[in-house]
Structure 1
Amino acid sequence: MVPGQRRGTAIAMSHEERDAFLRGSPVCRVATVGPGGHPHNGALWFVWDGTDLWLNSLVRSQRWTDLARDARLSVLVDDGGFEFLQLRGVELLGRAEVVGEVPRKGEEVDELRSPERLFTEKYGDFRYDGRHAWLRLHPEKVVSWDFGKLRA
């Protein structure tokens, strides 16, 4: 049984499948708790280090404002096609933690060496633009699904 996976264990991804899926997916959707408790969703590039999800976010954004007020977030990474059996995804829930300077300008931060290297490997040259900063999500709950497993 996958920790956090209460239902649908037959379609849950293994740890290896989940890690490969998260490493290879280009975009995630990040949901924060907005004003009045309403959700705010936005797409972001991200990297997965096998334990934590790293988000490189604009610091002058609704997302950043929301997280300063309430650090809870839900991140969805999914893909699929027009057929039900092609649907697969991972949802990660937890609290965002700011790592490094805000905004990021290039100060040496040991914790950011790995995510910045992974980001460069995934998306190309990583540059400090003085507008973004790093958020780390150490998931409290992870749920995955791959409806293609129903074929068996």
Structure 2
Amino acid sequence: MPGQRRGTAIAMSEEERDAFLRSQPVCRVATVGPGGHPHAGALWFVWDGTALWLNSLTRSRRWTDLGRDPRVSVLVDDGGFDFLRLRGVELLGSAEVVGEVPRKGVPTPELDSPERLFADKYSGGGDFRHDGRHGWLRLRPEKIVSWDFGKLRA
């Protein structure tokens, strides 16, 4: 995966980036819509250290867009109004469908880890709930860019 060329002074280390991605509740997913027009929406996610897992409604514009063109940009950020608190990570690549569509719970070993991570993150543990309306998308980023403007204080 190519490294970050600009902003290396404010780039997060791999450990900082992983901790940040595991702690944040929402990402913004941008897809390529009809006619090349972008579409962005918020979504829950989990990061397993190598891939970003998105649990998306299968009857959504996002799902339709990705079926046509798998390229995606995902932004995870926080910080509010104080410039030196702005932090974020952008992940770019192609999303791939993993498992049945929609997901109803057919045993899929590849989904054991993301479903456990998702249940731990959003419902305090226990079993992941399959609702027959969502499916799993995996983004193995081809490029990751991060920033933490708090590093400018040093």
Residues 131-140 or 117-126, more deviating: 117-126
Stretches of structure 2 that go unaligned for 5 or more consecutive residues are none
2:133 to 118, 131, 134: 131
Output one character per residue of 1:90-130: Cα deviation in whole Å (capped at 9) or x when no partner.
Answer: 00000000000000000010100000000000001521100
C-alpha distance in structure 1 between counterparts of 2:81 and 2:141, whole Å: 29
Residue pairs, 1:22-101, within 5 angstroms: 22-101=21-100
Question: Equivalent residue of 1:135, what SS?
Answer: strand
The percentage of aligned residue pairs carrying the same residue is 83
TM-score relative to the length of structure 2 = 0.96
Output one character per residue of 1:11-42: Cα deviation in whole Å (capped at 9) or x when no partner.
Answer: 00000000000000000000000011010000
C-alpha distance in structure 1 between counterparts of 2:120 and 2:24, whole Å: 13
Deviation at 1:81, TM superposition (A): 1.8
State the one-letter code of the partner of 1:80.
Answer: G
Output one character per residue of 1:28-83: Cα deviation in whole Å (capped at 9) or x when no partner.
Answer: 00000001101000000000000000000000000000000000000000000211
Which residue is 2:150 aligned to?
Answer: 148
Which residue is 2:115 aligned to?
Answer: 116
Give the paired residue count.
151
Root-mean-square deviation (Å)? 1.0
Question: Equivalent residue of 2:12, what SS?
Answer: coil
C-alpha distance in structure 2 between counterparts of 1:6 and 1:64, whole Å: 31
Off by >2 Å, runs of 4+ in structure 1: none
C-alpha distance in structure 1 between counterparts of 2:66 and 2:82, whole Å: 35
Question: Equivalent residue of 1:21, what SS?
Answer: helix
TM-score relative to the length of structure 1 = 0.97
